[in-house]
Structure 1
């Protein structure tokens, strides 16, 4: 008789044959930097997550480094917003100043710069608009300009999240032309028009003022399209491809993983985080157990990199283990 239970008899045996593990090096922690001074704003829909002004961010930076997280994804929230998102590509913009501050305080910390106009535009969409239509080709030069500005500030990775067609190609060309041939692009390749983003829009002040993002973000029903998006971004010059959200799209991660050897990042997004936090705060679930199971599920599906608001907790739990 084949007794599979022999492999499960105790923790030592289970560890010996375990197929998937989570390491701190897998994790990226998203952060929110806001214009102003002496600001540490709690985000009500994301318990434990805050908006920081640059002068208050050092305390969070100490926490990140203290638990051994090696990479962050930065989102800047400007005071001034306009139709063309001019603060996104201003060398003295909030995100650029924050990147310089972080690289000065923690030069070895990997800084991933999100590239999108939505946090910087008065209308909250990810591109330029004309008669309430999001303009693809007209937006590309601004994304290129933003990418070069973030690179000049010291970003280690450029992460375009706008979902405009062709943006990886023009960003790669712009980076190369400006002396950043070795700078990596982590593309939000399969970014779905998901209901899981609502808490993020509270955090980043990026809700659209009209309509939605379904004309440029992906239909949640489609998986073959996601494969085409990922392969297209690789062809255009992406070094890492991202799938977002994670938990409702584990099948997409797996299918893309089967099609390419390129590294895959998965974004365990704000709504996924907030649901776990809410259930844990009500005593309905074991937070640590659920979060670690989610992390394993994402990794098992084929992701190498996990962007998650749980990162600091996961790092501490790994130390306890």
Structure 2
């Protein structure tokens, strides 16, 4: 059978089509309304609720950065959420001049309502698409969102990190301590993990790095100078054609830079070239990470209470099959 290449349309036409699709998405998702998701709140306030719920203890300046709001606008939105009893502040344990944001019980209930509204909205739309088109949509939207994030990053407070950071493959001196430290600080704050978890990360990552280079295995690092600000590894078995995604983390300084998605893109290209299936372990409540995994085709396969990291949590196993 002859293969006929479809002519590539002009860049100008692609831009016009994307702009039209973006306007339609804004309208259909309800962002033109005074309130969003039947919450009684403005869209920016709804997104603030989502971000605070996904990252308990987040600071107001980070909310402003993520939502592309100026600091005064973000402060007003958060003050309103406090006044309505949806958000509370706590003084930071690391810096008494800073405050951390948390959802109140009422805020948690509203967040669950918002999540259900959004899930139902997306689910209804996906019913009209075949599974192959659904996955293609997710990958395409992820690439588009990542490109937009990189464009916006030049105007954010984290731009200096974004511009100087680079992704390298393989071991670099000092990376084991840096990656273990990133994990220890993040998971101590979000899950109460302690020395057992930090030692586990350091020893297992050291053993993995010592074996590199090795077929079917890879380690990517986000480097700024000599410092490691992010990591992701693929630890696979070529005989079973099953890969394990491990040690995926990005420093808060690179939040919104798209660096995490760049790491995931490299890893998915690698596993699709070598493996039929990829799995990862995480635990319940890390919603922001779950959204990233699902956007790259991972799906929850199993969950149960466990203590593999030294503290009892609801452990979750996500899997992804190689696209056909």
**TM-score with structure 1 setting the length:** 0.28
Structure 1 or 2: more helix by fraction? 2
**TM-score with structure 2 setting the length:** 0.27
